[in-house]
Structure 1
Amino acid sequence: MLLTQLSDVTAKDGGTSSGGGGGGTLPPSPATTPFMVPLPVYLPKQPVAALDPAPQETLAPGECGRPKHQRWGDFFPETRKFYEMHVRQDKHSFHPQLPTQNIWGYDGILPGPTFEARYGEPIMVRIYNDLPANSIGFGSPEISTHLHNLHDGSESDGFTGDYYSRTKFGPTMTGPGAYKDHHYINCYAGYDAYHETEGDPREALGTLWYHDHRIDFTGPNVYKGLTGFYLLFDELDSGNENDPNPKALRLPSGVGKYDIPLVFQDKQFDLNGFLFFNQFEVDGILGDKFCVNGKIQPFFQVERRKYRFRLLDGGPSRFYEFYLSYNGVDQPFQYIANDGNLLPAPLTMSKVRLGVAERADIVIDFARYPKGAQLFIVNKLEQVNGRGPSGKILGQGTPILRFDVGDLPASPDNSRVPARLRELPPINLAEVVTTRRFEFANANGGWTVNGKLFDVLTATAKPKRNTAEIWVLKGGGGWSHPVHIHFEEGRILSRNGKPPEPHEAGRKDVYVLGPGHEVHVFLRFRDFEGKYMMHCHNLVHEDHAMMIRWDIVPP
């Protein structure tokens, strides 16, 4: 551990990166043999019968000092499920050729448990902070869990100043506590306009993820393990490929069976094989080991049928461009969702580019390949530093995940990718009451928005509830910034004066700004009030103040 702490000080650029990064002053991580480890795939986390003490609108005994739950009577207790999750330190193996070591995990695992939820069924998740108070190494043992990008009250959003432990609490909290209750309402955005019909399904998300958002320490806390998936279903995307409902899409289904979440994260290890993070690096952290669901270059046994894969760039700073390779030839697949939002129609693609926190759902049909075939997800995007991708696409790239094709499935594959997926809600520019501009830049060695560092107590913007605005996001210098806006999905009106590409034309919550790019986004602010955030999702930029607070205020 001493070597890890010393290397935190001496590292310069976040390390080397095989096949997609560039050289640095750090020695490379110890050698690891690829494709030795099976891909970890979780079945959904199971609810508990009740929480003790019972959740309250204000505070339950022992709970940290959060604001009261909004709209408690509207969504609770008519339909409810309860979950309990413990954030704790535990042992983890990234690879058999590296030492087993401590990580921080939701329920002590990396990634954390996968939630399977449904629109119209609110859940309460009680998240205990059981991390060691006097931890050694990088990270800070207070937590604030953000569910990216649930439409929900700000008190459950995971605001960066809402961190807590048993002895400490953030500047936007009123006291410490052992746990915090998160009321995940699982309603469509714009519920108030459609509540008699339980909302507008055009507003649905499917692939969400949760991670720590503790101010100044989001990067190291997530890097240390605090991330997981939250999947939402409804009548259309029902999670049942045999669904007799004629409205159901019948996409490949069964979370942990044919519906597989994949979080991609690059890591650096010191000479002894322990996880390394340079807390003094302000540009971005690049690793030379590529992990999928917490394992270095794993393999996954698949049947000869269709699978849905939910790809997430879990950071901290790397962009990816993924290809599906078979015998060295790029293969087509169906691209069905971006940032967790189903597209109006599937796209036949041979590549997926992701900035940090972006998601893409794809469907691969392994029935096209013979038994014994091996396919690879390969990253071909070169990135040598925290500025972002160089723009160069590598000929070979780095294989990150191997698929081993097995037998035909025991049961017929009734899944499909229909020609139409989810209709988009209309954009009504008549709702727009103002246009705001935000420039993301580097000023005097600090990361700024509109020339200012983050102020956790002051709202930069105060949109009114039930209005719409256009936010203009501008990138500065030679940097790339994946900008995330909490709370509601937006729609890209234009990128550099042109319409968005087809995969970006749907609903989104991460807007990648290339060097000098300008993106115009249509946003609405419905159903809730309170404090939210916008920030660069390069976690290092975020931790070094490239963030704003914005508040939804009464009409």
Structure 2
Amino acid sequence: MSTLWYHDHRVDFTSQNVYKGLAGFYLLFNEFDTGNETTGFHLPTFPTYDIPMMFADKCFDPTSKLLAFDLFNLDGILGDKFLVNGVIQPVLHVSPRRYRFRWLNTGPSRFVQMYLTDLNNLSVTNMFWQISNDGNLLPTPVQVPAVALGVAERADVIIDFAPFAGRTLYIENRLEQTNGQGPTGNVLAAGTGNLYLKIVVDGPTVADNSVNPATGPLFYSLPSTAAQPRVQRSFNFDRTRNGQWVINDQFFNCDTVRFTVQQNSVEQWELQGGFGWSHPVHIHFEEFQILSGAPGLFGSSGSSRSFSSSNPSTGVNLSRKDVVRLIPRGDVVLFFRFRDFLGRYPMHCHNVIHEDHAMMLRWDIATTGDTNTRP
């Protein structure tokens, strides 16, 4: 039903605490996504064939061998050691059958684009199936050559290892990134990226009662986005001349309510990116649908580093989401349908270094909302 996660969120110290490991998965099941491949949507059985994977990269002090964190780097931290579930480049042994992997990028600042790589056959693109984006299943599986994830984004994928019996594969990040501000947009050649996970297909042949994604199973129908928004708001994610991160030229203050949403209303938000950096924007509480500017794979023919508002949401971006990648000079339009819940919530960049340095705002839901178009 849903791949969620939780982490420490202390103001100004989120990055350090998440970097040190204060994060975990929170998986939800229901009568459709049951965790048992013989029932419901027949997705691979948890936990034997349904495996959560938390990606991270970290730095270690060469002298002390302890985890290192640069407090004075306000752009973002890039590690040179690559971890899955807290282990540096682990090994997974699988049987020749379908598996569900739940991928989460915890950063703290690195974007990734994950491929399934056979180092002995680099010329072949090994396709697989994406079935969810963030916390929701897609309407139907989408066959993909790779999955791009900003920090805090999730994707559930189905990989069939039956054709790879007796072989060794790798989950490889081929997205080039040289600093914490964001990826260059270049995709590295197969086998030259960062190898996060070694997968050895040497397990015994076992029964596979899971659904074949190629048959096009329908998981659910998308809710309509035809309703007229009560208000349209815009948010510019930028930095000041002295390098401080801001939203609409303002720093975060937890006592300042930047805008108020009216309960049971529809809103449209436009997120605008600055020049030269990327932001994985996370909006708490209510999920959204992308109306335009949906980011695709880096390096693909239909996906440049800048997106116009005319770019429709297609394919893997069709589900409801809670994180969206805002690319340099990008422009993403989001549709929200708020329910009857009230409360106080944040929106922030999930490059947690940016988040800790004031690229965040507070917004509320109340019985009466405002019409502030640029909070």
Please, what TM-score do these two structures have when normalized by structure 1? 0.61
Equivalent residue in structure 2 for 1:405, among 195, 201, 207: 201
- 1:206-245 superposed matches below 5 A: 206-243=2-39
Do structure 1's residue 366 and structure 2's residue 161 form an aligned pair?
yes
Counterpart in the other structure of 2:234: 437
Report the secondary structure of 2:276's partner residue: coil
Work out whether residues 311 and 361 of structure 1, in 8 Å CA contact, stay in contact via their aligned partners in 2: yes
Alignment map for 1:393-472 (pairs within 5 Å): 393-395=187-189, 396-410=192-206, 412-416=207-211, 417=213, 419-443=216-240, 444-472=242-270
Shift of the alpha carbon at 1:423?
2.0
Contact 2:139–2:318 at 8 Å: present in 1 too? Answer: no
Shift in Å at residue 281 of structure 1?
A: 1.1
Query: Distance between the aligned counterparts of 2:208 and 2:225, measured in 1?
Result: 41
Contact 2:139 2:222 survives alignment (8 Å):
no
How far is the alpha carbon of 1:406 from its aligned partner? 1.6
What is the CA–CA distance in structure 2 between the aligned matches of 1:474 and 1:330, rounded to whole Å?
34
Contact 1:212–1:222 under 8 Å retained in 2 = yes
Give the direction of change, closer, same or farther, for the CA distance of 1:369–1:489 in structure 2 (3 Å limit): same
Cα offsets for 1:251-281 (capped at 9, x unmatched):
11122x1110000000000113110011111
Shift of 1:420: 2.6
After TM superposition, give the deviation of residue 369 of structure 1 in Å.
Answer: 1.5
Give CA deviations for 1:54-96 in whole Å, capped at 9, x if unaligned: xxxxxxxxxxxxxxxxxxxxxxxxxxxxxxxxxxxxxxxxxxx
State how far apart, in whole Å, the 2-side matches of 1:527 and 1:237 are.
Answer: 26
State the Cα deviation string for residues 320-343 of structure 1 (Å, max 9, x = none). 011101222331111111112111
Match in the other structure for 2:104: 312
Query: Does the CA contact (< 8 Å) of 2:225 and 2:335 recur in 1?
Result: no
Q: Secondary structure, in 3 states, of the residue corresponding to 1:219?
A: helix
CA RMSD of aligned residues (A): 1.3
**Distance across 2 between alignment mates of 1:220 and 1:428:** 38
Seq. identity, %:
52
Q: How many Å separate the matches in 1 of 2:225 and 2:353?
A: 36
1:9-24 aligned at under 5 Å gives the runs none
What is the identity, as a one-letter code, of the residue corresponding to 1:442? R
Is contact 1:468-1:525 (8 Å) kept?
A: yes
For the 8 Å contact 1:218–1:539, the answer to whether it is kept is yes
Where in structure 1 do 4 or more consecutive aligned residues deviate above 4 Å? none
Task: Name the CA distance, whole Å, in 1 between partners of 2:366 and 2:105.
Answer: 32
Cα shift at 1:545: 0.3
Conserved in 1, the CA contact under 8 Å of 2:41 and 2:219? Answer: no
Q: Tell me the SS of whatever aligns to 1:508.
A: coil
The residue type equivalent to 1:266 in the other structure is D
Counterpart position of 1:291:
83
> Partner of 1:125 in structure 2?
none
Distance in structure 2 (CA, Å) of the matches to 1:339 and 1:506: 8
TM-score by length of 2: 0.89
Q: In 2, are the aligned partners of 1:431 and 1:467 still within 8 Å (CA)? A: no
Q: Which amino acid aligns with 1:458?
A: T
Q: 525, 529, 535: which is aligned to 2:342?
A: 529
Separation of aligned partners in 2, 1:420 and 1:473? 33
Q: Which residue of 2 aligns with 1:375?
A: 169
* Cα offset, 1:315, TM superposition: 1.0
Q: Secondary structure at the match of 1:540?
A: helix
Superposed displacement of residue 477, structure 1: 1.3
Which residue identity is paired with 2:52? Answer: P
1:553 counterpart (361, 366, 369): 366
Aligned partner of residue 59 in structure 2, secondary structure? strand
Residues 345-364 of structure 1: per-residue CA shift (max 9 Å, x gap): 11111111111011111011
Aligned partners of 1:481, 1:307: CA distance in 2, in Å? 31
Q: Which residue of 1 aligns with 2:303?
A: none
2:16 alignment partner, SS class: helix
Structure 1 residue 468, shift from structure 2 partner: 1.1
Q: Post-superposition shift, 1:501?
A: 3.6
**Given residue 14 of structure 2, which amino acid in structure 1 is its aligned partner?**
T
Counterparts of 1:424 and 1:226 in 2: how far apart (Å)? 35
Aligned counterpart for 2:328 among listed residues 512, 515, 518:
515
Which residues in structure 2 correspond to 1:74-85 (within 5 Å)? Answer: none
**Deviation by residue 1:455-495 (Cα, 9 ceiling, x = unmatched):** 10111110011111001100011110000001111000011
The within-5 A match list for 1:176-255 is 205-243=1-39, 248-255=40-47
Separation in structure 1 between the aligned mates of residue 243 and residue 161 of structure 2, nearest angstrom: 49
**Equivalent pair of 1:340/1:361 in contact (CA under 8 Å):** no
1:500 corresponds in structure 2 to 313
Alignment of structure 1 residues 258-273 onto 2, 5 Å: 258-272=49-63, 273=65
Q: Call closer, same or farther: CA 1:322–1:428 in 2, change over 3 Å.
A: closer
Write the distance in 1 (CA, Å) between the matches of 2:364 and 2:187.
Answer: 40
Equivalent of 2:147, from 343, 346, 352? 352
Match of 2:93 in 1: 301
One of 386, 392, 396 as aligned partner of 2:180: 386
- Structure 1 unaligned residues grouped into runs of 5+: 1-204
Per-residue CA deviation, residues 340-394 of structure 1 (Å, 9 max, x unaligned), is: 21111111111111110111110111111123x1010011111001120001111
User: Does the CA contact (< 8 Å) of 1:305 and 1:408 recur in 2?
Assistant: no
1:4-61 CA-partner distances (Å, limit 9, x unpaired): xxxxxxxxxxxxxxxxxxxxxxxxxxxxxxxxxxxxxxxxxxxxxxxxxxxxxxxxxx
Rounded to whole Å, the distance in 1 between the matches of 2:278 and 2:88 is: 26
Equivalent residue letter for 2:255: L
Q: Tell me by how many angstroms 1:224 deviates.
A: 0.6
| Cα pair 1:424 1:506 within 8 Å, conserved | no
Tell me the matched-pair count.
344
Local SS of the residue matching 1:463 = strand
